[in-house]
Each structure stands twice: as structure tokens, then as C-alpha cells.
Structure 1
Amino acid sequence: MAGDYLVPLLLMVIVQIGYAGMNIMSKLAMDTGMDPFIHVAYRQIFGTMAIAPFAYFLERNTRPSLTKPILFQIFLCSIFGVTVNQITYFVGLKNSTPTVACALSNITPAVTFIFAVPFGLESLGLRTKAGQAKIWGTIICVGGALLLSFYHGHLLDIGQSSIHWKYAQDANQSSTSSNSHGSSFLGPFLVIASAVSWAIWFIIQARLSKLYNAPYSSSALMCFMSSFQCVIIGFIFNHDISSWALTPSIRATSTVYSGVVCTALSFCLMSWCLGRKGPLYVSVFSPLLLVIVAILSWALLREQWYIGTLVGSIMIVMGLYGVLWGKNKEMQSENDTNIPIDLKVIDIKELKAGKDDIESLFFKQTEINPQATKITSKSTEGIRE
């Protein structure tokens, strides 16, 4: 049906637009002088308030019991997946541009693959096309990230936007007067550190999701724990109480938007798409965020493009799709080799076999396909009948 194709597509496009808006507004808020540590702290607070109702109403009857080991893993997820990940990302965003930050965030699948191999969650598969695609994709991703971080090259003449946005003009004046753009190396470095932290979170979350199958509740707990962590870190780096004021209005808008749209709403939409289309479908939309942010940054923030930015971004996207293609082929191969005995081809009503005949049929099948060792309880009950 057309709805099965269009609805997930539309929802994932909405998610990427939502994240693009977060990058633009967060950059504007920090260019007006907002401390990125304070911005992250407010985002966790608003995110917790937004996602808690979903956790309570959708999982109150299905939520597993919360044990100390599970609580400790949620705590680790809050540190790596939320606190460290977002602090390094937003400090990196403050010291770079939205386009550079979004481009570098696309190296997360490649970094995750590097970390997953020692833990046995991924295999190299040097002799398979899928393994070679993942390895070369990772190399191209990392190479693009290094190029984007250390090389600018010539300025690309793509003209100037005629759009005049008051928020952007005020932010540009504030950032120019305070010279708050920082080091051109510090920003990309911190965004790469954010991708590394995100990859570590994937490793921990993969185990947690098997032990505690309540994604909304675990996310609410992560945001709740991270709220305390980020507030404490924010006060350590900024003792001035007046810095926590959500004025001018762009600061309040960006923090509420980031918490509600990019923490609560986007998680619900991606969870819905994950359940129907799988993780690969959700992953392939990541480069769309880069395209949207690049257009909005040029139109609203007067961002300039360089040769190094363009070539590095293209390499990162190519490497990303190489890793995803290899992972998809690997999953298809695993599904083909782990096929249970196909009992549907047997006419149950006409099969007049005793116990010995059924066992003979089973062992003949396993001789042909050693992986076919699973008989569903439903099928065996049908044969017994």
C-alpha cells in the first residue's frame, strides 16, 4: 500500500527537519552568548518533562522490573549517550558551523563499527563484499572527517541569500562583537568526540535493550539522570546565576524546541519507523540532515562554503552509505543461512506419519542445511494433530 511507503518516509523527513531546526536555533542561541553547558542542561530538563508522559502511559503495564545492574547501565547510557555526547556536540557546534557539525556527526556508524569489532558485535569479514564495504566505508568516512577538520581550501562562490532573519542578524552582531567563534580545530575535534561517545552509547544500549525492553522509560530515566549531571557541570563551568536566564527569547525557544522536538517527538517517530522498517531504513536518512542544514545555514546564517567542507562532506556521506550497504548485505546473508525447516510446504492434513517418520524428515533436512535446526512449536503441534 502507498501508505506503508509514504508514512515512514514522511515521518523520517520530519525528524531530519526537526534536527536541522535544532542545529540552526542552538547555534543562534550560543552566538548570542548562551553557554553551551547551560543549553544542554535546559535541554535535558525539558526533554525529561516531555518524554515522561509517554513512558508512563505507554509502558506502565509492560515495563520490566528495574534492577540495580539495569539501573547502572542506564546511568552509563546517560553519561555517554546524553551528557558527554551532547556537551561535546554543542560546544563543538559553538566553535564551528552547523554544516560542519552535521557532516562530522555522520561518521557515527563508522566509529561504531570500529568499537563493535573488539566487543564481538561486528565481524570484519575481509573475504566478503559486505565486510570490505564496511572497512572501506569506514576508511572513507574517517578520511572525509579529517579533510573537513584540517583543510578549508578556496572559498566557493555560491552567492548570498536575500533572506533577512532578525534572530540571525542579532546573533551575528553579538558573535562578531564577542569574537565567540573559537578555534577552527576545536569545534570539529569536539564533534568527532561526540560521535565517539555516541558509538560507546550504541554498544551499551545494545545490551540494555535486551535486558530492559522499555525504550520510553529508559530514555526518560537517561534524560532525568543527565539533567542532574548537566546542571552540576553547568554550574562548575559557569558560576554566574544570571547566565542561566532564558533571555533573549531565542535561548528559551532553542532549549524548549531541542527538548520537546529533538528528544521526545523525534524519539517517538523514530521508534515507530524502527518497528516497521528497521534500523537501516532510519539510518539512511542521516545525510538528508546535512543537506537541509547546509541550505538553511546558507540562507539564514550566511554560512560560507569551502572546497574542503564540500569534498569532506561528500566523502563522509559516501563512506556512510558504504558501511550501511555492507551491513545490509551482511544481515541478508545471515537471514538466508538461518532458515528454519519450511514446514509450510508440507500438507499437514495429508501427512500420515508417525513419530519416527517426523524425526527422519527432520534429520534429512539438517543434513542438507545444518543451520535449519529450528522447528516452531506451532508447526510441531500441527504435525502431531
Structure 2
Amino acid sequence: MEGNGCCGCESAVNRCKAYIAMISLQFGYAGMTIITKVSLNRGMSHYVLVVYRHAFATAAVAPFALVLERKVRPNITFSTATQIFILGLLGPVIDQNLFYAGLKFTTPTYSCAISNMIAAMTFLMAVICRMEKVDIRKVRCQAKVIGTIVTVTGAMLMTLYKGQVINFFWSHYMHHPRDYTPTTAIDSGGKHWFKGSILLIISTFAWASFFILQTVTLRTYHSAPLSLTSLVCFVGTLQSIAVTLVMEHKPSVWSIGWDMNLLAAAYAGIVSTGIAYYVQGVVMQKRGPVFVTAFSPLMMIIAAVMGSFILAENIYLGGVIGAVLIVVGLYSVLWGKYKEDTEKEEAEAIKGCTEENGRLPQVKEDIEANPIEMQKVEGRSCSNSH
């Protein structure tokens, strides 16, 4: 009885690991967004921030990959090298540079809300790439299509309509941190807000593409996720250096001291890149990319609370309505995906039972066709028992 209790507890802990890991990542992402917002408003170049971020990530993860996965690391083929190169381009270069640029023109809460479009975008791309099949007659497929439309509508509402400022009771007692410039002072109601929204949407599209390609690459690197993380971060660092040299011509932009800029780069690199890439890869192997994206609304809620407390961030009515639509659409897509996975599991179980039942008549026929052999086997069993 005691053994069964221990096994039950161990099983429950194993089931909770993926949930705990993904929830912890959302806190890490939200914290990164807040810290990065302060750093960018203090004048740090987002191109340089991406370089330092992935340099920190590579330095943090590579030693573990070299030691722990030296015997299981697969050989790098041309196909794998191409995939790693594109992953570095999609994640570190395109996604993060555009996300930081969009964050500079908007707010942490708004940026996290737009990022919730990732599940719908992933679904659309999977359909286009024929990784997902859509049968509009089935309720689960209708849920995914309608959820995608609702999510896109929410993002458009957040982009085109702001509305009134929603004041919380603690907003009157909050103070801006030193050197922080509120977004409302940077023409948030004009072209900069719209520009930031477009940059964030393109960034989310690149991030969704990263997830799909990472799923494909993990088929080769299923036994060495740390090595894949290290390679993507290293290649992303080199690509980001090339982009920064083209976009930034002043040597002074590379200078970094013991301040918020260093904290932003180190925190984003170690927590939001190195650890996050690895954890997402491990969870994705067991639960799939849809499970990984299911927790993104939690990041928005955490960022909203932290932003309101720490940055005295303004939250607008249009943003709240749009965020609600995005969350509703997101979970509609996830529900449809969950029902699809359940149907697949049931179909596989039925198929397995059918195959087992198909073997039983064959075994019976073999026994009836060879009675002499069965008698010999029984005779041996009796002699052995004596």
C-alpha cells in the first residue's frame, strides 16, 4: 500500500512538471518585458541588446550541452545546419529585434497581449504547410477557425482603438522609476503606437514560425535539446552582430556598465532565452507546441499587474477588450486542438485493440492445427514441475 502511495505521488508530480515549468516561464517572460522596457527607454539599442542577450544565453547553456550531451549529440548535416541557421534568423534576429522595437513604442502589457496571437498564427501556418487538416464539418475544426478569426479581431482592435484610460485604485500611489519615460509621453496615441503594433504582429509571426521549425528540428535533436539551444543561440549571436554592425554605426552603442542595461541583457539571455528555449523544447517533445502556447495569456496578466505597479503603466479600454478577445480566441483554438488530440488517442487505442483481437483467432487456429506440439509442450511443463 505504501509503495502504491509513493508511485501515485510520483506520477502526480511528473504530470505537474510541465505545468509548473510553463507557468514559471511566463513569470520569467513578464519580468523580462518590464526590465527591457526600462532599459530601452534609457537609450539602449535593441540591436545591441539582442547581441548581448544571446551571448549570455550561449555562455550559460553551452557548457552543460558539451558535458551532458557529448555522447548523444547527433551529427550536423546540411539540412540540420540550414534549419539551425533559419531558427537563429527567426528567433534572435527577426522576432526579438522587432519585439523590442514594438515594445519601445507601446507598453509591456500591450506587447504581451499581441504576443497571444501566436497560437492562432501557428494554427494558420500549420494549415498552410499541411501539418494540420481542417474538416469544417467537425466542431473542433470550427472552433479552431472561429478562434483564429476572433484572435485576429482582438489584435486589430488593440491596434486601431485605444479608448479611455482605466484607473486602478493603486495607480494614484505609484511613482515612475528614475529615468523611465511613460509611453503616453511618446506620442502613444499617434503613428508611433500604430507602428509599434505592426512590429509586434510581425514579431509574433516570426515567433510562430520559430515554433513550427523547432518542432521539426527536434525530431533530429530529440536526445540533445541543450545542444540545439546552444547552437541556435550561438548562430543567433553571430547573425545579430552582423545586423547591428549594419544598423548601428556608433561604437559607443556597444558600451555597457553595471546598470539596468547589463541586468536586462543578462536576465533576458539566461532566463528568457537559454532556459526558456531548453524548457520549451523539452515540454514540446512531450506535449506539443499547442500546449506550450496555451500559457501565453498568463504572461499578459502578470505583465499588466507588474507594469501597473512598477511602471505606473496606463491600461486602455481598447486594450482590455482586445486582450479579452485574444484570450477567448486563443482558448477556442486550444480547445479544438485538444479535442483533435483526444480523437487521435482514442483512434490509436481502438486500432490497438482491433489488432490484438485479430491475433487471438490466429493463435487459436495455430493451436488447433498443431495438437501434437501442444502435447509436447504440456509434457515438458509437467516434467519440469516434478
Report the TM-score, using the length of structure 1 for normalisation: 0.84
Identity between Structure 1 and Structure 2 (%): 33
User: 2:234, 2:99 → 1: CA distance?
Assistant: 19
Runs of 5+ in structure 2 lacking a partner?
1-8, 370-386
Q: For residues 157-168 of structure 1, what are the structure 2 equivalents within 5 Å?
A: 157-159=167-169, 160=171, 162-164=173-175, 168=177
- Counterpart of 2:277 in structure 1 is 267
Distance 1:239 1:67, change over 3 A: same
- Counterpart of 1:87 in structure 2 is 97
1:63 aligns with 2:80: no
- One-letter amino acid of the structure 2 residue matched with residue 124 of structure 1: V
- Counterpart of 2:123 in structure 1 is 113
Q: For residues 198-347 of structure 1, what are the structure 2 equivalents within 5 Å?
A: 198-213=207-222, 214-247=224-257, 249-274=259-284, 279-339=289-349, 340-342=351-353
Q: CA deviation at 1:16?
A: 1.1
- Counterpart of 2:54 in structure 1 is 44
Secondary structure at the aligned position of 1:64 is classed as coil
User: 1:270, 1:70 → 2: CA distance?
Assistant: 19
* Greater Cα offset, 211-220 or 272-281: 272-281
- Counterpart of 1:354 in structure 2 is 366
User: 1:231, 1:84 → 2: CA distance?
Assistant: 13
User: 1:138, 1:303 → 2: CA distance?
Assistant: 29
Distance 1:267 1:229, change over 3 A: closer
Q: CA deviation at 1:352?
A: 5.1
Runs of 5+ in structure 1 lacking a partner?
358-385
Secondary structure at the aligned position of 1:71 is classed as helix
User: 2:78, 2:66 → 1: CA distance?
Assistant: 20
Task: Indicate which of 92, 106, 114 corresponds to 1:96.
Answer: 106
Residues 11-31 of structure 1: per-residue CA shift (max 9 Å, x gap): 332211111110000000000
- Counterpart of 2:202 in structure 1 is 193
Contact 1:147 1:308 (C-alpha < 8 Å) held by counterparts:
yes
Q: CA deviation at 1:204?
A: 2.4
- Counterpart of 1:382 in structure 2 is none
User: 2:128, 2:293 → 1: CA distance?
Assistant: 23
Distance 1:221 1:268, change over 3 A: closer
- One-letter amino acid of the structure 2 residue matched with residue 318 of structure 1: V
Task: Indicate which of 149, 152, 157 corresponds to 1:142.
Answer: 152
* Greater Cα offset, 332-341 or 253-262: 332-341
* Greater Cα offset, 5-14 or 233-242: 5-14
Contact 2:95 2:206 (C-alpha < 8 Å) held by counterparts:
yes
- Counterpart of 1:76 in structure 2 is 86
Contact 1:101 1:191 (C-alpha < 8 Å) held by counterparts:
yes
Which 4+ stretches in 1 moved above 6 angstroms?
A: 343-348
User: 2:35, 2:187 → 1: CA distance?
Assistant: 16
Residues 303-356 of structure 1: per-residue CA shift (max 9 Å, x gap): 1111100000011111111111111111111222233333778999xx655189
1:53 aligns with 2:63: yes
- One-letter amino acid of the structure 1 residue matched with residue 366 of structure 2: G
User: 1:256, 1:265 → 2: CA distance?
Assistant: 12
- One-letter amino acid of the structure 2 residue matched with residue 328 of structure 1: Y
User: 2:174, 2:123 → 1: CA distance?
Assistant: 41
Distance 1:104 1:119, change over 3 A: same
Q: What CA RMSD, in Å, does the superposition of the two structures yield over aligned residues?
A: 2.7
Task: Indicate which of 19, 24, 44 corresponds to 1:14.
Answer: 24
User: 1:8, 1:334 → 2: CA distance?
Assistant: 21
1:122 aligns with 2:143: no
- One-letter amino acid of the structure 2 residue matched with residue 139 of structure 1: I
User: 1:356, 1:327 → 2: CA distance?
Assistant: 48
User: 1:96, 1:187 → 2: CA distance?
Assistant: 6
Distance 1:101 1:203, change over 3 A: same
Q: Report how many aligned residue pairs link the two structures.
A: 352
Please say which structure displays the higher CA radius of gyration.
Answer: 2
